[in-house]
Every structure is written in structure tokens, then in C-alpha cells.
Structure 1
Amino acid sequence: MSVVDLFTPRDSSTGFSLLTVCTGNICRSPLAELYLRRGLADLDDVAVSSAGTMAVDDDVMPDQARALARSFDLEPDAHRARFLFGRDVRSADLALALAREHRRAVVAMHPRASRYTFTLREAARLAHDVSDDEIAEAMPGTGASTAERLRAAVGLLASRRGTVPAADDPIDDDVVDPYRRSDETFVESGRQLVPAADVLVDLLRRAAASPGRVR
């Protein structure tokens, strides 16, 4: 069994579930959900959702958050906040916290989730400069489903913890919370979130398309 296999969190017969998490599920995590869903839309059996550790069910995104989403050509009006439950964490293959406090909350609900939970910016840091050869080496055998390939990519990210240098300042693994703050803070949250999401989408898409190594 490879080190990547050790990090596979769920039954390989199911689709791939990606969960984004923040506090109220009305600013950061819905933007990440919408952006990642679009980036992965053409991959088979991938579901992207979001929830909040202190969310009030059915809250809508504030005007500033909706404007930020629209600036990236996303449609936010249908989003409704959802409180995070342990079952959401247990059913995820990849949980992306928008700040370290959310990662701690996710792992507290389900300690095994430490294997597949990262802050979004941490995941991007771990994914940065991963080569196609490294991805191929991590992939399961011929005939693996897209979900199995994506789970292997999550395992690859987890295996890089401790080998990739940590952020210079731990706060650099967080996306700033813009709630009830200035328009400039909302823009800054987008500047932090979107490039990290782009790096992760690139990794996952390359994993989905990778032929894998000859075994």
C-alpha cells in the first residue's frame, strides 16, 4: 500500500465530494464553492458544496459578497447558507477550510478528516509545482474512475505536508474574513481566494486526465 492509499477517505464506488467551509457560509465558502464548481464542471461524478461552522440556515449572501462573485462571472443569487454537520465532514473526500479556525472545527467533528482537510491556501501551497510525473506516480491503476483519481490527488497533497515549506506567516494560509467590512476587504478576500482555487483546480484536472504510471 502506498502512502497515498493511506489517505483515501471514502469508498471508491462513490463520486467525489468537495466541501468548502467558513463561518457563516455567506461570503468566503460560497464564493469558493461557486468558483470550484465551475472549474471542475466537466469532470464526472464531482459534487461541490459548502457549509458554515456558525451558519444560519437559508441566509443569503450579502450584497458585497454577491458583487464579488459576479465580478468573477459567477451567479450567487441561488445560494442559501447551510450549517455544517459531522455528516457533511464524514462524506467529504476533500474539505477546504477558508481559515485555520475552520480546519480545526472540521477536524474536531471527525478526527479522520485531518487526512483530507486543508485550508484552501494551504492546499494551493502544497499543490504548487507538483509535476505531471508526481501526479502520475500517485494515480491508481488503469481503469480508475475520476473520483478515484481525485482522491489520489488529495492523498498526494496530504503526503506533501512536512516536505513543502510552511507559510512564512501562518495567517497566509487563511482567506481574510470580509463580513461587515469594507469593499476593499471583500476585494482582498477574492484576491486571496481565487488564485489558490486556480492552483487546486489545475491539480485536480491534471489528476483526472493523468494516464497514471505503468505498474
Structure 2
Amino acid sequence: MTDAARSARPPLRRADLRRMREALDAAPATILTVCTGNICRSPMAQVLLRASLSDAGVRVHSGGTHALVDHEMTEQAQQLAVTHGANATDSAAHRARLLTEALLNESDLILAMAREHRSHIVQMAPAVLHRTFTVREFARLAATLSDDEVRNGVAEAGSDAGARLQALARLVGRQRGMVPAQPDEDDVIDPYRRSQNTYDLSASQLVPAVAEVERVVRVALG
């Protein structure tokens, strides 16, 4: 755009600036879930969190480090998600997409399904380090915090939902080392192309973690 074109543009009115600020303030808190293909674990986490936080104004989406782009969730993953409370229509509508730096940067809390995904995320976007966890790691650390500790820990973030969710991530991150765990206890097993028993095991690891995420997110945003 030329300088003449810029100067010809009318200045923003005060009302326009107010509406822009209001739109930014109204932006929802955003959670991103990440796995490899984005057809089993991360979309299960996505649709479960969407269902459990549907009344909290939280945006939940997902991506895959090596996504099978445009593929649906596997049938087993859909069935398990719905069994554990996800919306059937939402589960059926999912289409896999590739994880990008833009998706990471716009997310206030990033929940990877395994340590390999957490490492990939941080290499792709180092700035999101302090808001990136595996979902089981986040749940394990969050469980050490009472509701009052969560409320007090995010209070300085003010009323902005995204800022409060990022403050929650920092608060939970400070709990590292408080609850020792074996490294593989922070991963959700990959069930892709494996038995129904493996799918069931994967869900048994994921569902309690999602419930703990819901608890502390609700408290932080309440």
C-alpha cells in the first residue's frame, strides 16, 4: 500500500476502536490437544473437553504432528468418546488437520498426548513452552492444587479468560517435581491400528486426565 493510499484511509473512530477492544476482550480461552495422526487420542480429548466445558465458553480444538489430514476419527475412538460423554455429532464431524505454529501461538493451554508430541511442539514454537504439557502430566500436577489455590493463583490475571488460562498453566507448571512419576505415566498410549483392548486402555488413561483438566479450568475461569 502506498503512502498516499494510507493517508486516504479514514481514521478509526472512537466507537470502532471500542468495538475492536471489546472483540479482543471477548476472545475465548483456547485449549489445543495434540497427537500424531489427529484421528484417535487428540480428537477424543478435544470432543470430551468440548462437551464438559460447553457452558464455560472455552474453545477446544486439535491437531496432529503428522496428521492424516481430513480423515475422520477412527470408529473405535468415536465410540469411546461418545460412551464417555462426548457429543456424537461433534465426534463424527471431526476431520484431522496438521499442527502449525499458528495453532500453537493462538492457544492458551496445549495438551499433548505423549512426551514426543510435547517435544515436537516446543521445537516448533519455543515460546509456548510454559503452557505445554502432556495431558496426563497436567492432570497429575493439577491434582496437587486445591480450588482455592487455583483461584488465588490466577487472580492477578484479571478477567480476561485467555490470560487466566495461561496463568493456570504457569501455576500448574510450578508443581513439577511435587509428585514424582515414571516418565511413561505421562503418556496416553497410541491405539491406532491396535486391538480394542488397547483402545480401552488409551481411554482409561485419557478420561480421568480430561476430568481433572475440566476441574481446574472451570475453577480458573469461574
Question: How high is the TM-score relative to the length of structure 2?
Answer: 0.83
| Unpaired stretches in structure 1, ≥5 consecutive residues | 1-11, 210-215
Please give the root-mean-square deviation of Cα atoms over the aligned residues, in Å.
1.6
| Unpaired stretches in structure 2, ≥5 consecutive residues | 1-23
Instruction: Note the C-alpha offset of 1:63.
Output: 1.8
The equivalent of 2:152 in structure 1 is: 137
Pick the structure with more helix per residue: 2
Aligned: 1:21 with 2:34: yes
The equivalent of 2:94 in structure 1 is: 79
2:197 aligned to 176, 181, 184, which one? Answer: 184
Following TM superposition, where does structure 1 have runs of at least 4 consecutive aligned residues deviating by more than 4 angstroms?
A: none
- Residue identity opposite 2:213 in structure 1: L
The equivalent of 2:60 in structure 1 is: 48
CA contact (8 A) 2:48 2:85 kept: no
CA contact (8 A) 2:151 2:219 kept: no
CA contact (8 A) 1:43 1:146 kept: no
Instruction: Note the C-alpha offset of 1:143.
Output: 5.7
Quickly say closer, same or farther: Cα 1:64–1:132, change in 2 above 3 A. Answer: closer
Alpha-carbon displacement from aligned partner over 1:157-193 (angstroms, at most 9, x marks no partner): 122223x2231x2000000000000001001100000
Instruction: Note the C-alpha offset of 1:141.
Output: 4.6
Larger Rg: 2
The equivalent of 1:64 in structure 2 is: 76
Q: Whose relative contact order is higher, 1 or 2, with alpha carbons under 8 Å and at least 6 apart?
A: 1
**1:1-215 aligned within 5 A:** 13=25, 14-44=27-57, 46-74=58-86, 75=88, 76-141=91-156, 144-162=159-177, 164-167=178-181, 169-209=182-222
Counterparts of 2:157 and 2:43, CA distance in 1? 35
